[in-house]
């Protein structure tokens, strides 16, 4: 199968992580979530994690140089040679340009950028209701995506769940502001490259998955 390189873009809570995991399972393309990488670095207390912790808890963007080198190192690894889904990166025009340069230097390019479009007013409920299996990382929602058996992860049977430090109504507003001020400007960048595809993220999770899968299957 040919290597597919995708970007998922959209505001906090639009469903990037949910859909990236589904594409990973269905098309066997690895998910690279910069938020997950940073949370791991914070938990392990690495130098990058120490730098990022307070910035993430405040809902702001971590510095471009930190994130660009983190992603650059990751996508150079052998398991990314068969393709990848970037979830949460790039988030600034400088990050998008750095990614273009680093791929171009190796004769590679992004195949598609999928924008998951959801209005701001729907996002606070999605984010404040989110929880995750502590064992396997499967995402859930208090209302929209409950485990089949309460308290037990559908995927791995785990019974411990976590909620993110930045998933509160106040921080969500800062994250939304960062999205509109810093991240939205990458969309015309990819529109100009003719690789932007827009999916209506207000639909249910399965409907969004169908639309996203149709884009990937057509590549």
> Is 74 known to be catalytic?
no
Q: Which strands form 161-162's sheet, in the order they lie side by side?
A: 139-141, 130-133, 161-162
Taking the least distance from each CB to ligand AP5, the nearer of 111 and 141 is 141
Options 4, 7, 9, 34; binder of ligand AP5; rule CB under 6 A: 34
- Distance in angstroms (rounded) separating the CA atoms of residues 162 and 137: 9
Residue 144 touches which of Mg ion, ligand AP5, none (Cβ within 5-8 Å per kind): ligand AP5
Q: Which of 210, 134, 165, 196 is nearest to 8 (CA)?
A: 196
The number of residues making up the chain comes to 219
126 binds, among ligand AP5, Mg ion, none (CB under 5 to 8 A by kind): ligand AP5
With CB cut-offs between 5 and 8 Å by kind, which of Mg ion, ligand AP5, none does residue 83 bind? none
Interaction between residue 85 and ligand AP5 (CB under 6 A): no
Query: Whole-number minimum distance, CB 192 to Mg ion, in Å?
Result: 26
**Backbone torsions φ then ψ of 213, nearest 5 degrees:** -60, -40
Coil, helix or strand at residue 92: coil
Binding of residue 67 to ligand AP5 (CB under 6 A): yes
Q: How many whole angstroms separate alpha carbon 216 and alpha carbon 219?
A: 5
Binding flag, residue 13, ligand AP5 (CB under 6 A)? yes
We find the least distance from the C-beta atom of residue 133 to ligand AP5, in angstroms, to be 12
Known catalytic residue at 130: yes
Tell me the H-state helices in 13-162. 16-27, 34-44, 47-58, 64-75, 93-104, 120-128
Does residue 17 belong to the site contacting Mg ion (CB under 5 A)?
yes
Cβ 4 to ligand AP5 shortest distance, Å: 20
Catalytic residue at 173? no
User: Rounded CA gap, 23 and 30, in Å?
Assistant: 9
Q: Is 127 in the site for ligand AP5 (CB under 6 A)?
A: yes
Residues binding Mg ion (CB under 5 A): 17
């Amino acid at each position: 199968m040919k290597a597919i390189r995708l970007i998922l873009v959209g505001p906090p809570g639009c469903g990037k992580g949910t859909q990236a995991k589904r594409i990973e399972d269905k098309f066997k393309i690895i998910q690279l979530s910069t938020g997950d990488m940073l949370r791991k670095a914070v938990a392990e207390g690495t130098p990058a994690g120490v730098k990022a912790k307070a910035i993430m808890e405040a809902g702001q963007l971590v510095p471009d140089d930190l994130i660009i080198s983190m992603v650059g190192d990751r996508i150079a690894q052998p398991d990314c040679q068969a393709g990848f889904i970037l979830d949460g990166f790039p988030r600034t025009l400088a990050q998008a340009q750095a990614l273009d340069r680093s791929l171009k230097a190796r004769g590679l390019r992004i195949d598609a950028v999928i924008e998951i479009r959801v209005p701001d007013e729907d996002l606070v409920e999605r984010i404040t209701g989110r929880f995750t299996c502590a064992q396997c990382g499967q995402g859930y929602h208090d209302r929209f995506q409950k485990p089949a058996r309460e308290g037990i992860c559908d995927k791995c049977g785990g019974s411990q769940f976590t909620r993110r430090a930045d998933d509160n109504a106040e921080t969500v507003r800062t994250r939304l502001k960062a999205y509109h001020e810093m991240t939205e400007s990458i969309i015309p960048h990819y529109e100009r490259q003719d690789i932007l595809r827009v999916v209506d993220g207000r639909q249910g999770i399965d409907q969004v998955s169908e639309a996203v899968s149709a884009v990937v299957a057509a590549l």
